[in-house]
Structures are given as C-alpha cells and as structure tokens.
Structure 1
Amino acid sequence: MGVSTSVPREGVALVTVDFPPVNALPVQGWYDLAAAVGAAGADPDIRCVVLAAEGRGFNAGVDIKEMQRATGPEALIGANRGCFEAFAAVYECEVPVVAAVQGFCLGGGIGLVGNADVIVAAEDATFGLPELDRGALGAATHLARLVPQHLMRTLYYTSRTVTAEELHRHGSVFDVVPRERLAGAALELAGEIAAKDGYLIRLAKAAINGIDPVDVRRSYRFEQGFTFEANLSGVADRVRDTFGTDKEQQT
C-alpha cells in the first residue's frame, strides 16, 4: 500500500498509487506521490513517467474520512498543500507524464490527469468533480484542460461525470483501450516517447509548459482560497456531514 516506483522498460518510470479500497489519498499520500513523480523526472536515465494506480479506480481524491476525524484545520491545510504539491509535481515533472486511468477518476484525480501530458484510459474510466456534493471546491483549473469551457462549468455545477470515450472525442484522452490492455498501452506509448533524446525531451517539456495560456499553479491556488472560505463559513462541514457511505465517491 502506498506509492511505489519501478522501471518496467528502459527510460520509463512507472509510479503506482495503491491506497485501498478506492485510492482516496491521505495527506501524506499526496506528498509521497509528489516526491515519487519529482524523483522519477529528475533521474537522468528516465525520459518518460507513467502514472498509474492499482485497484478498481485511478483516484477518488482526498480521504474525506481523515478530514472528518480531524478536530482542527490541520487536515484541511495538509490536504490542500498536498494536492497542490502533487498536481504541481506532475505538471513540472522534467519529462512527459502519461496517466493510465481505469475506473473512477474523481476530485484530486482530475488534478493529476489534467496536469499530465498524455492520458490513456480504460473503457470503464469515468472522470468528474463531485466537489460541490462533498463540501469542497477546486480543480476546475484541471478539468478545463480536459473539456471545453461550458462543458467544464456544467460538469462542475452538476457533479456529473464523463466517460473516457467522451474525452477521447474532445481530444484530451489519447487512446481508450480495454482494461486488460491499459498497462501495456500506456507503457508502449511511454516507450515511444522515451526513445527520444533525453536532453531534448526535457527541453520540449519545458518549452510546452512555457507557452501554456494558463498558469495552472496560480489558477489552482486561487481556487483553494474559496475552499478555505467554504470551510471557515461552516458550509463545507454541513455538506460533508451529509456524505454517505459510498466510498467510491470520496473526493
């Protein structure tokens, strides 16, 4: 359980997240993920990183139960900072990051894949931000990198999800494959990227980030300010307390 790194083929690092039952990450898990992605990208022998997960779903966001057990603001501050660091680590990774997504990708999961360079998804993958149903805000920055503006707003306000095939039609998911082929498809694509010159691929990543029209770090940090306001006002706790037992919907 936790975050692990392996090198399944030359030039490719595989960072795997495993927090049963639904990959809802505790505070330390976000920091561990950020450290693993950062370390993989800094390795001169690595030219592409694959971000994957074990279990039924890719990511169910923040572990709400950890926050509900807290008696002070430490868990909220930790979750916000941890998510910020993990999302930034994916975006700022020195080499391209391929996200391999299966099952549900919710909340913080959108922050990860929205900042990835390439997304390969299983046919059963679904993507969404149920933040408003969970007393939270944030990651609209990253959802906006996956779908057009008005669809992003609709998904955000309604907490609806979209399928991998729908995102494929929008061009944000590169390929949709049967679940049993997900790992192989992601590694194959990563291998194609890793075949490039290591120095040049790092320059390419820096150049592409440099021409992004939105500073994703500043944009997400702005969103987080409203998350704090929701918590200080008490509305976040009021909504969170209605949170059911469906652990697949943690975010």
Structure 2
Amino acid sequence: MGVSTSSPDKGIAQVTVDFPPVNALPVQGWYDLADALLAAGRDPETRVVVLAAAGRGFNAGVDIKEMQRDTGHGALIGANRGCYAAFSAVYECEVPVVAAVHGFCLGGGIGLVGNADAIVASEDATFGLPELDRGALGAATHLSRLVPQHLMRALYYTSRTATAAELYQHGSVWKVVPREQLLDEALDLAREIAQKDGYLLRLAKAAINGIDPVDVHRSYRFEQGFTFEANLSGVADRVRDTFGAPEKTGKEA
C-alpha cells in the first residue's frame, strides 16, 4: 500500500499508486507521489515514466474522510498543497509521463492525467470532477487540457463524467484498450518513447512545457483560492457533511 517505483524495462520507471479501497489519497500520499515522480525523472537512466494505479480505479481524489476528522484547516491546507505538489511533479518530471488509467479518474486524478504527456485508458475508464458534490473546487485547469472549453464547464457544473472513448474522440487519450491490456499498451508506448535519446527527450519536455498557452501552476493556484473561500464561508463543510450519505455513495466515494 502506498506509492512504489519499479523498472519494468530499460529506460522506463513505473510509479504505482495503491491506497485501498479507491485510491483516495491522504495528504502524505500526495507528497509521496510527488517525490516518486520527481525522483524517477531525475534518474539519468530514466527516459519515460509510466504512472499507474492498483485496485478498483486510477484515482478518486483526496481523502474526504481525513478532512472530516480534522476540526481545523490543517487537512485542507495539506491536501491543497499536496495536490499542487503532485500535479506539478507530473508536469515538471524531467522526462515524459504516460498515465495508464483504469476505472474512475476523479478529482485529483484529473489533475494528474491533465498534466501528463500522454494517456492510455481502459475501456471502463471514466473522467470527471465531482468537486461541487464534495464541497470543493479545483482542477478545471487540468480538465481543460482534456476536453474543449464548453464541455469542461458542463462537466464541472454537473459533476458528470466523460468516458475514455469520448476523450479519445477529443484527442486527449492516445489509445483505449480492454482493461487487461492497459499496462501492456502503456508500456508499449513508453518503450517507443524510451528509444529516443535521453538528453534530447529532456530538452523536448522542457521545450513543450515552455510553449504551453496556460501556466498550469498559476492557474491551479488561482482555483485553490476559491476552495479556501468556500471553506471559510462554511458552504464547503455543509456540502462535505453530506458525503457518505446513501445517495452519495458508489464507486466515486
């Protein structure tokens, strides 16, 4: 359980997240993920990183129950900073990051894959931001990198999800495959990337980041300011306290 790093092939580092039951990460989990991604990218032998997850789904966001147990704002601040660190680590990883996504990819999961360089998804993968149902805001920055602007807004306001097939149609998913083929397909893409010169790949990653039209760090930080406002106003707690009620349970818990 936790975050682990392996080397499935030459030049490839695989970072795997495993926080049962639904990969809703606690504060420390986000920091651990950030550290693992940055460390993998710093390794001169690494040319590409595959970000994968064990269990029922790729990522269900932050551990809401950890926040509910905190009588102050420590868990909220920790989650915000931890998510910022992890999302930034995907983006700032010195080599390309391929996300292998299965099942649900929600909340913080969108922050991770939205900053990835490529996404391979299983046929059962779904992507969305249930933030308004969880008393939170954020990651519209990253959802905007996956779908067109007006679709992003509709998904955000309704808390609906998009399928892997729909994201493939928008060009943000590289390939959609049966779940049992997911990791193999992600590794195949990683192997193709890893055949390139390692130094040149690092230059390419830095160059592509440099021409992004939106500063993902500043944009997400701006969103986080409204998350704090929602918490200070009390509306976040009012919505969050409904989390876990029968009508809110399910695979997105």
Confirm or deny a common fold (TM above 0.5): yes
Please list the CA deviations of residues 160-207 of structure 1 after superposition, one character each: whole Å capped at 9, or x if unmatched.
Answer: 000000000000000000000000000010010011000000000000
Q: How many angstroms apart in 2 are the aligned matches of 1:86 and 1:92?
A: 10
Q: How many angstroms apart in 1 are the aligned matches of 2:166 and 2:134?
A: 24
Is there any run of 5+ residues in structure 2 with no aligned partner, and where?
A: none
Pair 1:71-2:74 in alignment: no
How far did residue 244 of structure 1 move? 2.3
Please list the CA deviations of residues 218-251 of structure 1 after superposition, one character each: whole Å capped at 9, or x if unmatched.
Answer: 000000000000000000000001112526324x
Q: How does 1:171-210 map to 2 (within 5 A)?
A: 171-210=171-210
How far did residue 90 of structure 1 move? 0.1
Structure 1 runs, 4 residues or longer, greater than 6 Å off: none
Q: How many angstroms apart in 1 are the aligned matches of 2:252 and 2:122?
A: 19
Q: How does 1:45-84 map to 2 (within 5 A)?
A: 45-84=45-84
How many corresponding residue pairs?
250
Q: How many angstroms apart in 1 are the aligned matches of 2:157 and 2:48?
A: 35
Pair 1:110-2:110 in alignment: yes
The residue that corresponds to 2:39 in the other structure is 39
The residue that corresponds to 1:235 in the other structure is 235
Pair 1:222-2:226 in alignment: no
Q: Secondary structure at the match of 1:147?
A: coil
Q: How many angstroms apart in 2 are the aligned matches of 1:32 and 1:247?
A: 27
Letter in structure 1 aligned against 2:156: Y
Q: How many angstroms apart in 2 are the aligned matches of 1:128 and 1:22?
A: 15
How far did residue 152 of structure 1 move? 0.2
Q: How many angstroms apart in 2 are the aligned matches of 1:163 and 1:66?
A: 29
Q: Secondary structure at the match of 2:16?
A: strand
Letter in structure 2 aligned against 1:93: C
User: Are 1:30 and 1:85, in contact at CA under 8 Å, matched by a contact in 2?
Assistant: yes
How far did residue 155 of structure 1 move? 0.2
Letter in structure 2 aligned against 1:58: F
Q: How many angstroms apart in 2 are the aligned matches of 1:158 and 1:48?
A: 35
Letter in structure 1 aligned against 2:67: M
Q: How does 1:131-210 map to 2 (within 5 A)?
A: 131-210=131-210
Q: How many angstroms apart in 1 are the aligned matches of 2:199 and 2:177?
A: 31
Q: How many angstroms apart in 2 are the aligned matches of 1:175 and 1:132?
A: 29
User: Are 1:22 and 1:247, in contact at CA under 8 Å, matched by a contact in 2?
Assistant: no
Q: How many angstroms apart in 1 are the aligned matches of 2:68 and 2:252?
A: 15
Letter in structure 2 aligned against 1:143: L
Q: How many angstroms apart in 1 are the aligned matches of 2:183 and 2:158?
A: 31
Q: How many angstroms apart in 1 are the aligned matches of 2:251 and 2:224?
A: 23
Q: Secondary structure at the match of 1:204?
A: helix
Pair 1:14-2:14 in alignment: yes
Please list the CA deviations of residues 6-63 of structure 1 after superposition, one character each: whole Å capped at 9, or x if unmatched.
Answer: 0000000000000000000000000000000000000000000000000110000000
Q: Secondary structure at the match of 2:251?
A: helix
Give percent identity, aligned residues only. Answer: 82
* TM-score, normalised with respect to structure 1: 0.99
Please list the CA deviations of residues 94-124 of structure 1 after superposition, one character each: whole Å capped at 9, or x if unmatched.
Answer: 0000000000000000000000000000000
* TM-score, normalised with respect to structure 2: 0.98
Letter in structure 1 aligned against 2:63: D
Q: Secondary structure at the match of 1:127?
A: strand
Is there any run of 5+ residues in structure 1 with no aligned partner, and where?
A: none
Q: How many angstroms apart in 1 are the aligned matches of 2:252 and 2:59?
A: 10
Q: How many angstroms apart in 2 are the aligned matches of 1:74 and 1:100?
A: 31
